[in-house]
Structure 1
């Protein structure tokens, strides 16, 4: 069983993108190559500012929806209260 990761990227323009994946390094590379979400294309470089492991895809999707509904201020608070491990 693969674990799922909810992540928040900070784009070069200061905006945030929230997504889920089961391989964060591969997904980040796809975003950087312009093959990820349309939102992140042309907004690089991208930086992972938040990540959270989830038990399964369903839980990750629920967390993604919850975080996408947060105000920018609430997202900033969430990010500041969390330490992110580097992705290699």
Structure 2
């Protein structure tokens, strides 16, 4: 099984490699891939993984307050 950061990169960086989403939508997409996971724990891991991806330069998150579920605008450093 892939880790959440890898799954998020595939979700976010396939196609245009930029767009709008929020942590709730991303959590639901991860749960579709891993239906045995707990929603609350997965959402926490999604936020942590997004922070790691941002800090490593793999994605840019332009929006403030996204960690609290606000809509976020992202740009991938490299499209998949």
After TM superposition, is the score higher than 0.5?
no
Q: What's the TM-score once normalised by structure 2's chain length?
A: 0.34
CA radius of gyration, larger in: 1
Structure with the larger helix share: 2
Task: State the structure with bigger RCO (CA 8 A, min sep 6), 1 or 2.
Answer: 2
